[in-house]
Amino acid sequence: MPRKKYIVNLTPEEREELEQLISSGTERARKLTRARILLKADEGWTDRAISEALDVGTATVERLRKRFVEWGGIVAIERRKPRRQYKRKLDGDAEARLIALACSAAPEGRECWTLRLLAEKLVTLEGVDIESISYETVRTTLKKTNSSPGNMSNG
């Protein structure tokens, strides 16, 4: 059997912190499972035994061992920050223009604004520097500001 490359050796303080975390039961289930994995790995359990006992994949156990050794300490059980950076399609000025447009009278021949109409009109407005925008972006922007085209009550 090959020797493990990443060995989990918890300090007494780390072990106590993990046990306290588990006994409180107020954390997310994933975090609690990761804490249990580290405790069992420190006790000398095999990856297969841990995965069967906690109903997780062996790859999960291996990844967590590696993270613990590389990152050092209990930070390994914390949730990773997303690597992807989302660029905002609309800046504050464009959002203000969108809200003003949504609050204005609907185009001729229409009873109310639709998200697609708002998206099309926003692209053609002067002062708004975007080539295209999806109706979903319009929806999330209006939702964020508690505006809803077509509804009389926004409360």
66's CB contacts (< 8 A; 6+ apart) are 5, 6
Amino acid code (one letter) for 113: W
Is there a contact between 19 and 9 (Cβ–Cβ < 8 Å)?
no
Report the SS3 class of residue 3: coil
**Per-residue model confidence (pLDDT) at position 115:** 93
pLDDT band, very low/low/confident/very high, at 54 (cuts 50, 70, 90): very high
Given a cut of 70, whether residue 147 has pLDDT beyond it is no
* Apex 142 CA angle, 141 and 146, nearest 5: 120
Mean pLDDT taken over the chain: 86
pLDDT, tens only, 100-115:
989 999 989 999 999 9
Report the predicted TM-score, pTM, of the whole model to 2 decimal places.
Answer: 0.57
Amino acid code (one letter) for 2: P
Provide DSSP, 98-113.
HHHHHHSPPPTT-SS-
pLDDT, tens only, 11-51:
999 999 999 999 987 889 999 999 999 999 999 999 999 99
User: 154, 123, 153: which is closest to 138 by C-alpha?
Assistant: 123
pLDDT band, very low/low/confident/very high, at 150 (cuts 50, 70, 90): low
**Sequence ranges of the domains in the chain:** 12-77, 92-144
Taking the C-alpha atoms of residue 80 and residue 89, their distance in angstroms, rounded to an integer, is 25
Which segments of 25-132 does DSSP mark as H helices, in order? 29-42, 47-54, 58-71, 92-103, 115-124
User: 40, 48, 33: which is closest to 15 by C-alpha?
Assistant: 40
Percentage of the chain lying above the pLDDT 90 cut: 39
**Per-residue model confidence (pLDDT) at position 155:** 46
